[in-house]
């Protein structure tokens, strides 16, 4: 296998911290079929070995290996809770997910836990996705908006989406009509992109921030879900005192942690979920 150098990086912490649903554990590494091809990656110390079905993937971009992690961590560590969170998984980086699969996965995440979301994503691949050949076997990739649009809301409900089926249907229609596109969002500032994303059905404050951070690279986005909300209540009076609304707390987090607030959120999220250890700080 070919490899690239990957310093200050943990593949496992990065893909298993709830920010991506595009990587599936396989052998000693992870495989993704949601990148327009099949990509297998495996970390051995500071090297990222990989194998693909087609052209070379931009692994440095996908895992944001060129983000100045030392500087980022120095910037966001402003208290003991964040110190412990960063020390817990110092190789955790924000991912750069493919836009449409990311959007759909976080719409489907509403009131669903991570295993269920992974299962739904696989159903999308099995039912509507393209087929790739890899190492002599056939694998299904995540479908394009065009492929999902061939399904009716009723078909989508069959995937276990429930009332989220209408969200997926309407959002896919909006993407196909170019009401919202990845290109236009990437030309915007964070606030404008967040606002634009919320015009999509099923995309509120939290889902919009997840797409901003985990796909579009707006590192200042600070998604607040119930886990982060608990941390804020328990450890960050400075944020909860900013107000009760999502917008106020999220803005306060950007002011407190700075331009890399998204990294702060992800370190907190991962640390908190891996055993509620923040309680003992």
Q: Specify whether the CB–CB gap between 221 and 212 falls below 8 A.
A: yes
Q: Which residues 110-149 are close enough to bind DNA by CB under 7 A?
A: 110-114, 116
Is 207 near DNA (CB under 7 A)? yes
Does 239 sit near DNA (CB under 7 A)? no
The answer to the question of residue 234 lying near DNA (CB under 7 A) is: no
Establish if 277 lies at the interface with DNA (CB under 7 A): no
Q: Is residue 262 a contact residue for DNA (CB under 7 A)?
A: no
For the bound state, the minimum distance from the C-beta of residue 134 to DNA, rounded and expressed in Å, comes to 28
Exactly one of 101, 141, 202, 262 binds DNA (CB under 7 A); that residue is 202
| Sole binder of DNA in the list 83, 118, 201, 251 (CB under 7 A) | 201
d(CA 183, CA 26): 32
Q: Does 227 bind DNA (CB under 7 A)?
A: yes
- For the chain, the maximum distance between any two Cα atoms, rounded to a whole number of angstroms, is 57
Asked if 248 touches DNA (CB under 7 A), the answer is yes
Nearest by Cα to 126 from 115, 136, 114, 118: 118
Give the residue, chosen from 8, 75, 225, 234, that forms a contact with DNA under the rule CB under 7 A. 225
Return the residue matching tokens 């309680």: 279
> 3-class DSSP state for residue 18?
coil
Of 2, 54, 126, 163, which one interacts with DNA (CB under 7 A)? 163
Q: Encoding tokens for residue 125?
A: 């691949």
From the centroid of its chain, how far is CA 255?
22
Q: Which of 71, 114, 95 is nearest to 10 (CA)?
A: 95
Task: Please select the residue that binds DNA; options are 68, 247, 276, 279, rule is CB under 7 A.
Answer: 247
The piece of 44-52, 56-64, 66-74, 103-111 that touches DNA (CB under 7 A) is: 103-111
Minimum distance from residue 33 beta carbon to DNA (Å): 21
Rounded Cα distance between 134 and 52, Å, is: 8
Does position 160 bind DNA by CB under 7 A? yes
Strand runs labelled E in the chain: 2-5, 24-26, 29-32, 39-44, 47-52, 131-134, 137-140
Rounded to whole angstroms, the Cα distance separating 39 from 221 reads: 28
22 contacts DNA (rule: CB under 7 A): no
- Based on CB atoms, which residue is closest to DNA, 43 or 171? 171
* Burial category of 75 from C-beta neighbours within 10 Å (exposed 0-12, middle 13-18, buried 19 and up): middle
List interacting residues with DNA (CB under 7 A). 18, 109-114, 116, 157, 160-163, 167, 198, 200-208, 225-227, 243-245, 247-248, 273
């Amino acid at each position: 296998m070919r490899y690239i150098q990957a310093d200050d990086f943990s593949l496992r912490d990065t893909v298993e911290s709830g920010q991506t649903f595009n990587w599936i554990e396989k052998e000693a590494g992870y495989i993704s079929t949601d990148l327009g091809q099949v990509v297998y990656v495996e970390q051995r110390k500071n090297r990222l070995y990989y194998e693909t079905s087609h052209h070379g993937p931009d692994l440095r971009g996908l895992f944001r290996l060129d983000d100045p992690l030392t500087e980022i961590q120095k910037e966001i560590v402003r208290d003991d809770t964040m110190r412990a969170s960063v020390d817990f998984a110092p190789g955790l980086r924000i991912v750069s997910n493919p836009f449409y699969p990311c959007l759909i996965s976080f719409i489907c995440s509403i009131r669903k836990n991570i295993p269920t979301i992974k299962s739904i994503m696989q159903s999308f691949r099995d039912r509507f996705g393209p087929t790739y050949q890899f190492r002599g076997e056939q694998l299904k990739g995540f479908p394009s908006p065009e492929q999902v649009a061939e399904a009716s809301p009723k078909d989508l409900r069959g995937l276990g989406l429930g009332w989220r089926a209408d969200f997926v249907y309407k959002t896919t229609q909006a993407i196909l009509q170019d009401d919202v596109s990845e290109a236009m969002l990437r030309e915007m500032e964070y606030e404008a992109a967040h606002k634009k994303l919320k015009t999509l059905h099923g995309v509120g404050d939290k889902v919009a921030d997840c797409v901003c951070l985990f796909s579009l690279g707006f590192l200042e986005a600070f998604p607040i879900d119930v886990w982060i909300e608990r941390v804020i209540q328990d450890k960050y009076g400075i944020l909860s005192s900013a107000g009760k609304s999502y917008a106020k707390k999220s803005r306060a987090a950007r002011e407190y942690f700075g331009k890399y607030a998204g990294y702060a959120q992800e370190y907190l999220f991962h640390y908190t979920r891996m055993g509620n250890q923040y309680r003992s700080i």
